[in-house]
Amino acid sequence: MQFKRVSPVLAVVAAAVLLGACGKKEEAGGTAALPVVKIGHVGPVSGAIAHLGKDNEYGARMAIDELNAAGVTIDGHKVKLELMTEDDGADPKQGTAVAQKLADAKVAGVIGHLNSGTTIPASKIYSDAGIPQISPSATNPKYTRQGYKTAFRVVADDVHLGSTLGKYAVSTLKAKTIAVIDDRTAYGQGVAEEFSKAAEAAGAKIVAKEFTTDKATDFNAILTSIKGKKPDVVFFGGMDAVGGPMLKQMKALGLTAKFMGGDGICTTDLIKFAGGDIGEEQVYCAEAGGVEGEAKAGMDKFRADFKAKFSAEVQLYAPYVYDATKVLVNAMVKANSSDPAKYLPVLAATADYQGVTGPITFDEKGDIKNGALTLLTYKGGQRVQLAVIR
């Protein structure tokens, strides 16, 4: 790209070098544009859960657009934030390939990935490159227990999520017998294991443990076997694109057990995947995160603004992506640098950042402290909040 002469405004060029994320300059309206800071975002925008990946991407886009509109100044120089989006297809191999692509592009930071199965292998690449990574949705505990100083997340992990659901199944739903199915992914297995441990500790009996895949569509053999054991609850560790058809087939077989799952099934699209009817208070799930009281007004505004901007309802994780993006940039501003080596310590020290998903403080592993969970059910074709638990 050709650059116009800007004479004494060499300070802007110097700022671009100082910022380190990207020395790129653009032309806009006949004047030299601002130095660009590249931020990566990765999620599955192809495949069975592309709707969730796009939801995440929209959350990042919304944050970047708002920050650029308000103006971001780092070390006394205004900058332009640029979002680099990549598709990992919810596939670990593809996830590491795009992670390397972002590392080679020398992005200042990464928001993603969505799935634990892609987030965990990609995290080594970002660590090796010294690039901070905030996952808005990966809940497998291993992600932040590898010792990487670059890994952060803004949602509670599977230990918290699975154990809360396990206790709820026994104490509130009064389940005595439970069947557990997982999709063999890092997320699905992790949340199912934590759920099972908590349910058994609370006094329930696990009468069946089955598994499928994250691409399966036929569950009749598994469900027929489970039906004979007459469980009070069927727990599924996996995503809505598999959980929905499973629910539909449960109904066809006359399996009337309550259906439970983690945040992966807790979406607005679950009803569509289940064929349009899942019954009143038939499904119980937990979303990692949640707000209540006065903070709910901020979340409601976010959802309204999101719908106005993208003509789409929030699916699940978009608010957490939005907050993660703003937390990342806030650390750069406070550190007076978008150089990962300089702002990483500031990011790690993030405390009481007030996001739309609630206050964000990272612990020594990069996990959110005192992370919230929202318990939900479905009534009248809508998700209905039951409680926010910390």
If you write DSSP's letter for every residue of 71-134 in order, what string do you get?
Answer: -EEETTEEEEEEEEEEE-TT-HHHHHHHHHHHHHTT-SEEE--SSHHHHHHHHHHHHHHT--EE
Clarify whether residues 17 and 137 are in a common domain.
Answer: yes
How far is Cα 214 from Cα 252, in angstroms, rounded to an integer?
Answer: 21
CA angle 61-64-69, nearest 5°? Answer: 120
How far is Cα 260 from Cα 197, in angstroms, rounded to an integer?
Answer: 15
Decide: residue 342, CB within 10 A, 0-12 exposed, 13-18 middle, 19+ buried: middle
Clarify whether residues 191 and 328 are in a common domain.
Answer: no
The total of structural domains in the chain comes to: 2
Clarify whether residues 18 and 149 are in a common domain.
Answer: yes
Return the pLDDT at 115: 94
Q: Which residues of the chain have pLDDT under 70?
A: 1-32
How far is Cα 284 from Cα 121, in angstroms, rounded to an integer?
Answer: 30
Return the pLDDT at 31: 42
Is residue 383 included in any domain, yes or no? no
Clarify whether residues 17 and 81 are in a common domain.
Answer: yes
Q: What is the pTM of this model?
A: 0.80
Provide the β-strand partners of residue 362.
368
The two beta strands, 205-211 and 31-32, are: unpaired
Return the pLDDT at 240: 95
Residue 238's alpha-carbon distances to 161, 340, 381, in angstroms, are: 13, 34, 21
Q: Residue 239 corresponds to which tokens in the numbers above?
A: 């995503």
Is residue 184 included in any domain, yes or no? yes
Clarify whether residues 140 and 172 are in a common domain.
Answer: no
Q: Does the CA dihedral 60-66-67-68 come out positive or negative?
A: positive
- Domain that residue 119 falls in: 7-155+296-372
Residue 271's alpha-carbon distances to 31, 121, 241, 279, 284, in angstroms, are: 51, 32, 10, 10, 13
How many residues does the structure list for the chain?
390
Is residue 378 included in any domain, yes or no? no
Clarify whether residues 13 and 133 are in a common domain.
Answer: yes
* Preceding amide of 41 cis, omega within 30: no
How far is Cα 223 from Cα 178, in angstroms, rounded to an integer?
Answer: 13
Return the pLDDT at 32: 60
Clarify whether residues 22 and 46 are in a common domain.
Answer: yes
Residue ending a domain, among 227, 261, 288, is 288
Is residue 58 included in any domain, yes or no? yes
Clarify whether residues 144 and 171 are in a common domain.
Answer: no
